[in-house]
Amino acid sequence: MKEFEKVPYRAITVWKQRAALMHAIIWIVFGVGFFYAQHYNIPLFPLAIIGGLLLIWSILQIGILPRLRWRFHGYRITEQDVWLYDGGWSQKTTVVPLFRVQHVQLGQDPFLRRANLANVELETAATKHHIRGLDLYQAEELRDLLLQRLKEEKHV
């Protein structure tokens, strides 16, 4: 059985940047809450516990999980299926039959665009599946390959 294709290592940086932005917003909200707690003489002990848990969560989300996620993140294209591998602590394998795919598109947010990466989205009647963090050139080639295979499936 062929191994899966891994996404570029620099996808970790994009995942870390997104997590850092999300956690910065959460910490700002926490700081405002802490300020109001001091102002209205609300006990600070529960907030200290919440802050400690939030710190642990931030360290996990920004420092540890992106690398772990990258380790188990990838895809494999066969003649009839697309295999998607994802996960960190719990790994997930999804098999998408090509005859079920209705639409293939590329997507980039500002973080991906700056790193010259893209996501490939496979849309079926029931749901959407993503291959996240591919090189832009690799994503375009994969999209073209999938579209070619879809056309072949339709003509058979």
Cα dihedral across residues 78, 73, 109, 141: positive or negative: negative
Q: Helices (DSSP H) in the chain: which residue ranges?
A: 11-39, 45-59, 65-71, 110-114, 136-155
Q: HSE (CB half, 13 Å, CA atoms) of 44? A: 7
Structure tokens at 31: 């700081």
Reply yes or no on whether the pLDDT at 2 is more than 60. Answer: no
Residues 2-25 have a mean pLDDT of 93
> Which pLDDT score, from 0 to 100, does residue 52 have?
96
Q: Cα(104)–Cα(85) distance, rounded to whole angstroms?
A: 18
Q: How many CB atoms lie within 10 A of CB 11?
A: 23
Q: Which of 89, 88, 81, 54 is nearest to 146 (CA)?
A: 81
Reply yes or no on whether the pLDDT at 86 is more than 70. Answer: yes
pLDDT digits over 98-154, tens only? Answer: 989 999 999 999 999 999 999 999 999 999 999 999 999 999 999 999 988 888 876
Q: Which of 54, 83, 64 is nearest to 15 (CA)?
A: 64
Structure tokens at 65: 């999980």
> Which pLDDT score, from 0 to 100, does residue 1 have?
43
pLDDT digits over 69-79, tens only? Answer: 999 999 999 88
Q: Cα(73)–Cα(143) distance, rounded to whole angstroms?
A: 18
